[in-house]
């Protein structure tokens, strides 16, 4: 069996959308400091925590494309490493949107994780 390019693109799309899901969850999470209720509502219009809601929606959308992508004949050994590309995107967004420092530890940790996901995929034939 060979993984069609369309399935690879679906999983890449899922990873891309998921990485933005993380960004929205993070930007919506700050409101929690004012109390648990602000998980849902907001003081400013539109009076609900739309950032958090968008984050959850993006995660759901991401898992939809992911499931489409890993359907047969998609092979996990090829597709798993592509999900971990989402972690690299996230590193970029965290830098751009939240000005988070990119330390060497983060690069080393991320590299090990991407490699690990690659091997788990390799073993999942």
Comparing CB distances to other proteins, the nearer of 47 and 111 is 111
Nearest distance from residue 49's CB to other proteins, in Å? 10
Nearest distance from residue 98's CB to other proteins, in Å? 6
Comparing CB distances to other proteins, the nearer of 8 and 29 is 29
Binding site for other proteins (CB under 8 A): 19, 22-23, 25-26, 28-30, 32-33, 39, 52, 55-56, 59, 80, 84, 87, 90-91, 93-95, 98, 100, 102-103, 105-106, 108-124
Coil, helix or strand at residue 41: strand
Comparing CB distances to other proteins, the nearer of 33 and 43 is 33
Q: How far apart are CA 58 and CA 20, in angstroms?
A: 7
Nearest distance from residue 57's CB to other proteins, in Å? 11
Burial class (CB in 10 A: 0-12, 13-18, 19+), 105: exposed
Comparing CB distances to other proteins, the nearer of 4 and 24 is 24
Q: Tell whether omega for the bond before 75 is within 30 degrees of 0, i.e. cis.
A: no
Nearest distance from residue 43's CB to other proteins, in Å? 17
All residues at 6 or more sequence positions from 24 whose CB lies less than 8 Å from its CB, including other chains: 51, 52, 54, 55, 58
Q: Which of 108, 113, 67 lies closest to 86 in space, CA to CA?
A: 113
């Amino acid at each position: 069996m060979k993984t069609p390019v369309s399935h690879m693109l679906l999983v890449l799309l899922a990873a891309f959308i998921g990485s933005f899901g993380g960004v929205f969850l993070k930007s919506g999470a700050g409101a929690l400091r004012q109390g648990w209720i602000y998980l849902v509502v907001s003081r400013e219009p539109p009076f609900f925590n739309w950032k958090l809601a968008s984050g959850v929606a993006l995660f759901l959308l991401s898992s939809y494309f992911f499931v489409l992508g890993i359907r047969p004949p998609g092979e996990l050994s090829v597709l798993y490493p592509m999900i971990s590309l989402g972690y690299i995107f996230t590193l970029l967004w965290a830098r751009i949107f939240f000005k988070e420092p990119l330390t060497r530890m983060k690069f080393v940790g991320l590299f090990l994780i991407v490699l690990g996901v690659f091997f788990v995929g390799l073993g999942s034939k």
